[in-house]
Amino acid sequence: MTASLSPPVLAFFDVDETLIDQKSMFTFMRFFLRERYGAVGGLMFAWRMRFIRRMSMCGWSREVVNRRYYGMYEGVRWDALAAAGRRWFAAQEALPGFYIQSTRSELAALKKRGYQIVLVSGSFHPCLTPLAERVGADYVLCTELEVVRGRITGRLLEQTIGDGKAKVVERLMAMLGSNRSQCIAFGDHISDLQMLEAVGSAVVVGSRCAELVELARQRNWTINTI
């Protein structure tokens, strides 16, 4: 009789400012616009960032701001965006300090111990697919954009920030039959809280978010300083 395989144990990693030391959505947009439009693209990026910052300052939720960001890609061909993502990744990875090395080392160690690696991010596949390939991630849980006839509509099929992160994490654990108490998650911001609470072990990366660091101390979670 063949023994049944045990359900996988999962290690969930937020990406921006947890695994890499930048906000991928914004550095990608800057790269994409400059590559496509030259100097005018730089001006377009500055205008878009001012608009997004004003939305945040006016009290719009992160979910609404996030949807508005992706709406800015309406009409762009998906294959062009995916190809730009690979060029963006090659350029960013060459920069000193792109990876948060302590997190990347923990990821490699957990993978060696048999954990399946899951990237969880409010970013999207053009940024995350080449990164996942590089670090050997088994799954990518991220914002999913609607694509019709090869072009982005500006609408979202899945939003993975805040509660959305916890939802996709819990769904994957249920699908694979993983024991949540054996799984681990890494995050750097209070918006990662629900994801960190969804598993048995939580690691807070860095000290940029005082609110999350304080909660980590109260709950005896691990805090990895950068």
- Output the 3-class SS for 167-198: HHHHHHHHHHCCCHHHCEEEECCHHHHHHHHC
Domain positions in the chain: 10-224
| 169 bridge partner residues | none
Q: What CA–CA distance (Å, rounded) separates 142 from 164?
A: 9
Main-chain phi, psi angles of 59, to 5 degrees: 95, 10
pLDDT of residue 1: 39
Q: What CA–CA distance (Å, rounded) separates 194 from 28?
A: 26
Contacts of residue 5, Cβ cutoff 8 Å, sequence gap at least 6: none
Cα–Cα nearest to 189, from 172, 165, 158: 165
Q: What CA–CA distance (Å, rounded) separates 195 from 48?
A: 29
pLDDT of residue 3: 47
Q: Is 41 exposed, middle or buried (0-12, 13-18, 19+ CB in 10 A)?
A: middle
DSSP element (H, E) containing 11: strand 10-14
Q: Quick one: average pLDDT of 58-71? A: 92
pLDDT per residue over 112-134, tens digit each? 999 999 999 999 999 999 999 99
Q: CATH number of 10-224: 3.40.50.2300, 3.40.50.720, 3.40.50.1000, 3.40.50.300?
A: 3.40.50.1000
Percentage with pLDDT > 90 across the chain: 94
pLDDT band at 6 (very low <50, low <70, confident <90, very high): confident
pLDDT per residue over 12-29, tens digit each? 999 999 999 999 999 999
Q: What CA–CA distance (Å, rounded) separates 89 from 166?
A: 26
pLDDT of residue 222: 96
Tokens 């878009």 -> residue: 48
